[in-house]
A and B are shown apart, each in its own frame.
Chain A
């Protein structure tokens, strides 16, 4: 062993779209997304962050906001730790026409190659008191996370109080390259009937 020099890293490619969202009492919104990955991960291609268009719910239909925003990203890494997460923040218009946060969501990219329909449930910070909730409604500045990557952190979440509501649907197709050469088994080559898929 060891006479041939194999690849020094493996690559994952994720393509898909941020399809739509359904948020109660929100008829006009746009979404900001960003990919957060660990230190060992290097972006090879694609945009790590972006903003969709502002979408409006059509008259007389269910409240679905459709963005159809394409996602295309390729990462290279030597270590599966720090697997990329997709963090989204949905901003809508309040009755005075100002941008207010409607919800944050976060999900890891899938770990096995395949096609997935992901549902990111949204949550947003709660105001500390009823008075603060009223003044933030009046001034159009509800509580937001100061760090937009915060939903991807595993630490520091215990001090946040949030309320949830609404979800964003994302479709992702995942491809991996050279993981088997590295010795990784991600379960994508196995009989799917025995694996619980989403």
Chain B
């Protein structure tokens, strides 16, 4: 049976409106993928970075999947949250990226977006906090109907991933 190793870290982020950020992340894979070892969801530390520098999470990722079918290649999705001086957490960005399908060492930059409310909601959020959040979080990484969702671009999440495969070529899979 073919196996996939995803080993690396959620390095950090930059370009967000706040410098006090943490990230909730998860990995989603199709039905023919089975997680043999490792954690496929987690939350990073809350880091406060100096102005102009990227936020540092350095959260290790080490996943070992068994693959019986190529459909549903794993993808990593994130929710970036910020904490204000009062200790309230607010959503700052949603994003996802596919794990690269060729083995090797990668530095990935994943852009994120945040849902935008009406003008009234934005004014309220400015004073009271509470940006709109997604009700169904699968929208971030599943293809589907996002037509009624208005979003605005947010910062960029940085990942450092190593991808290693076992026995794929024995099953006649080409990576290019």
Query: Are A83 and B62 neighbours in the complex by a CB distance under 8 Å?
Result: yes
Q: For the complex, what is the distance from the CA of A116 to the CA of B162, rounded to whole Å?
A: 13
Query: Are B48 and A162 neighbours in the complex by a CB distance under 8 Å?
Result: yes
Cβ-closest 6 pairs across A and B: A187-B104, A111-B162, A187-B103, A158-B43, A164-B56, A121-B56
Query: Are B167 and A186 neighbours in the complex by a CB distance under 8 Å?
Result: no
Supposing A108-B7, A112-B162, A154-B59 touch, asked if A190 and B104 sit within 8 A by C-beta, the answer is: yes
Q: For the complex, what is the distance from the CA of A111 to the CA of B165, rounded to whole Å?
A: 11
Closest CB in chain A relative to B45 CB, distance in Å? 4
Q: For the complex, what is the distance from the CA of A61 to the CA of B37, rounded to whole Å?
A: 48
A185 at the interface (CB under 8 A from B): yes
B102 at the interface (CB under 8 A from A): yes
Kindly identify which residue among A24, A80, A121, A160 contacts B7, using a CB–CB cutoff of 8 Å.
Answer: A80
Query: Are B56 and A183 neighbours in the complex by a CB distance under 8 Å?
Result: no
Kindly identify which residue among A81, A114, A152 contacts B64, using a CB–CB cutoff of 8 Å.
Answer: A81
Q: For the complex, what is the distance from the CA of A134 to the CA of B77, rounded to whole Å?
A: 39
Tally of chain A residues near chain B (CB < 8 A): 48
Tally of chain B residues near chain A (CB < 8 A): 49
Q: For the complex, what is the distance from the CA of A81 to the CA of B64, rounded to whole Å?
A: 6
Closest CB in chain A relative to B89 CB, distance in Å? 11
A153 at the interface (CB under 8 A from B): yes
> Looking at chain B's contact residues, is the secondary structure mostly helix, strand, loop, or mixed?
strand
Kindly identify which residue among A105, A182, A195 contacts B105, using a CB–CB cutoff of 8 Å.
Answer: A195
> Which of A111, A112, A122, A161 lies at the interface centre, i.e. has the most chain B CB atoms within 10 A of its CB?
A111
Closest CB in chain A relative to B137 CB, distance in Å? 17
Kindly identify which residue among B39, B45, B163, B175 contacts A123, using a CB–CB cutoff of 8 Å.
Answer: B45
Closest CB in chain B relative to A65 CB, distance in Å? 18
Query: Are A158 and B44 neighbours in the complex by a CB distance under 8 Å?
Result: yes
Query: Are B7 and A106 neighbours in the complex by a CB distance under 8 Å?
Result: no
Chain B residues engaging chain A, CB cutoff 8 angstroms: 5, 7-9, 11-12, 22, 36-39, 42-50, 53-56, 58-62, 64, 102-108, 160, 162-170, 175-176
Query: Are B45 and A158 neighbours in the complex by a CB distance under 8 Å?
Result: yes
Residues 106-120 of A contacting B (Cβ, < 8 Å)? 106-108, 110-112, 114, 116, 120
Supposing A163-B48, A184-B165 touch, asked if A81 and B37 sit within 8 A by C-beta, the answer is: yes
Query: Are A123 and B165 neighbours in the complex by a CB distance under 8 Å?
Result: no
Known: A123-B56, A157-B42, A184-B164. 18 other contacts (CB 8 A): A80-B64, A81-B36, A83-B162, A85-B60, A108-B62, A112-B104, A158-B45, A160-B46, A164-B55, A184-B165, A185-B103, A185-B175, A186-B104, A187-B104, A187-B163, A196-B107, A198-B105, A198-B107
Q: For the complex, what is the distance from the CA of A81 to the CA of B12, rounded to whole Å?
A: 23
Query: Are B164 and A185 neighbours in the complex by a CB distance under 8 Å?
Result: yes
Which A residues touch B170, using CB under 8 A? 183
Q: For the complex, what is the distance from the CA of A10 to the CA of B168, rounded to whole Å?
A: 18
A46 at the interface (CB under 8 A from B): no
Residues 148-198 of A contacting B (Cβ, < 8 Å)? 151-155, 157-158, 160-165, 182-188, 190, 194-198
Which B residues touch A154, using CB under 8 A? 38-39, 42, 59-62
